[in-house]
Amino acid sequence: WDSVRYLEPVATRMGFADVGGLDEVKREITRRIITPFLKPSLFQRFKRQSGGGILLYGPPGCGKTLLARATAGECGAKFYNVSITDVLDMYIGESERKLHEIFEQARRTAPSVIFFDEIEAIGGKRQHAREATSAKMVSQFLTELDGFAQNNQHVLVLGATNVPWAVDPAFRRPGRFDRVLFVPPPDAAARKVILGLLLDGRPVAADIDVDEIVRRTSGHSGADLRNLVDTAADEAIEASIASGRETEIAMRHVRDALAQIRPTTLEWLTSARNH
């Protein structure tokens, strides 16, 4: 257990401009989380209750963590990135205490955003080896969440999962994760933006055809695109070393990379369809 990693928040300058595509999800997060957070009096005036968490789901590597971090950035809040599996890996009794500590710390350093990844690992339909611990974790988690909904406007909670069908239904009640948003694989327009972000600041040859890359990466996640661009950069570095002169990332490097980096979202979409 690395306590420092969880209890030290990350100050983030990242914003929605750093997340490619996902316009609908950004709009919904803005409406449900950011605006109530930045303009609480407006919501009070119209007697609109804000609060409640958002659960993001979708295939791996499509920007859930990035969105949560960017939400913190947009709110000027600190960012706590918590992996549930790591919390569960603690000694019996220890994980509940740790969870409480995380919420407490977030409250002390408010405004903050706590992001819980792999939320399905708490309770749910999962056959957990330590089910007793798991049940206790569920109730501890819900207690923290419910306490928050009532008296804390300055701590926002976001959750994420790749397996939404395995999430404990108790988490989905009003005031808890009552908004569930799909974070889809990037479409062509989003892939173009993401590739632009990834190539920005790297030496790029004139023959780079972003539209061709976009066409050939249907089914690639944002993380796959990052792997692709990193692999192309590695090819260019090798070419530089081999030739003894500086080269740029050229289309041939990207084509080599395309042969190596396969799309990873298709498998997820197939398994999601079967649920």
- Which one, 68 or 155, has the nearer CB to ligand ATP? 68
**Residue 138 · residue 122 · CB < 8 Å:** yes
Three-class secondary structure of residue 204 per DSSP: strand
By CB under 6 A, tell whether 22 contacts ligand ATP. yes
Choose, by CB under 6 A, the member of 55, 66, 99, 156 that binds ligand ATP: 66
Q: How many Cα atoms occupy the beta-carbon half-sphere of 147 within 13 Å?
A: 10
- Which one, 54 or 149, has the nearer CB to ligand ATP? 54
Percent helix, percent strand, percent coil in the chain, to nearest 5: 55, 10, 35
Task: State the binding string over 125-164 for ligand ATP (x if CB under 6 A, else -).
Answer: -----------------------------------x-x--
> How many Cβ atoms from other residues are within 10 Å of residue 162's Cβ?
19
Q: Which of residues 70-109 bind ligand ATP (CB under 6 A)?
A: none
By CB under 6 A, tell whether 197 contacts ligand ATP. yes
What stretch of H or E contains 106? helix 94-108
Candidates 17-25, 85-93, 199-207, 228-236 — which segment interacts with ligand ATP by CB under 6 A? 17-25
Candidates 93-101, 131-139, 218-226, 259-267 — which segment interacts with ligand ATP by CB under 6 A? 218-226
145: its two tokens:
């969440």
- Which one, 73 or 186, has the nearer CB to ligand ATP? 186
Residue 149 Cα to chain centre, angstroms: 22
**Residue 149 · residue 173 · CB < 8 Å:** no
- Which one, 117 or 235, has the nearer CB to ligand ATP? 117
- Which one, 69 or 239, has the nearer CB to ligand ATP? 69
Using the CB atoms, write b or e for 34-59: b if 16+ within 10 Å: bebbeeeeebeeeeeebbbbbbbbbb
Residue 64: burial class (beta carbons within 10 Å; 0-12, 13-18, 19+): buried
Residue nearest to ligand ATP (CB): 222
Candidates 4-12, 32-40, 64-72, 231-239 — which segment interacts with ligand ATP by CB under 6 A? 64-72
By CB under 6 A, tell whether 220 contacts ligand ATP. no
Residues 6 or more apart whose CB falls under 8 angstroms from that of 139 comprise none
**Residue 234 · residue 265 · CB < 8 Å:** no
Which pairing describes strands 54-57 and 179-182: parallel, antiparallel, or unpaired? parallel
- Which one, 43 or 182, has the nearer CB to ligand ATP? 182
Choose, by CB under 6 A, the member of 55, 82, 102, 194 that binds ligand ATP: 194
By CB under 6 A, tell whether 9 contacts ligand ATP. no
Q: How far apart are CA 67 and CA 74, in angstroms?
A: 10
By CB under 6 A, tell whether 61 contacts ligand ATP. yes
Q: Which residues bind ligand ATP (CB under 6 A)?
A: 19-22, 60-66, 117, 160, 162, 186, 194, 197, 222-223, 226
